[in-house]
Amino acid sequence: MPRQAIYDEIELEDMSYDASKDLFHYPCPCGDRFEITRQQLRDAEDIARCPSCSLLIRVVFDPLDFEEDDDADQTAAQQVTSEGIATAVASAA
């Protein structure tokens, strides 16, 4: 598959954030908007796609800004696991 060209490079702070969808977006020349999720950024992905056309942009950001998200996700996962174990132990007793 041929590599697609990047239309532009956009700083993350120039993008808008939609908390309900947990994604950043930026206007596309076609009238739609480029989108990239927080999870993609946490995974060090830097390409935002427009769902309506073939354009791509590179999002310029500091991956260190998303390390706290990873820590919070790990803490939440550990808490859920701990609560599940505590519930299983309590119901077995």
**Are 57 and 72 contained in the same domain?**
no
Q: What is the pTM of this model?
A: 0.68
**Are 74 and 43 contained in the same domain?**
no
Give tens-digit pLDDT for 33-87.
Answer: 999 999 999 999 999 999 999 899 999 999 888 877 655 554 444 444 445 444 4
**Are 13 and 52 contained in the same domain?**
yes
Half-sphere exposure of 57 (CA within 13 A, CB side): 23
Do the Cβ atoms of 60 and 15 come closer than 8 Å?
A: no
**Are 48 and 74 contained in the same domain?**
no
CA angle 15, 74, 81 (to 5 degrees): 140
The answer on pLDDT for 1 being more than 70 is no
Distance CA(93)–CA(84), nearest Å, equals 14
Region 18-39 average pLDDT: 96
Selected residue with higher pLDDT from 4 and 40: 40
For the chain, how many structural domains are there in total? Answer: 2
- Boundaries of domain holding 42: 1-61
The answer on pLDDT for 28 being more than 90 is yes
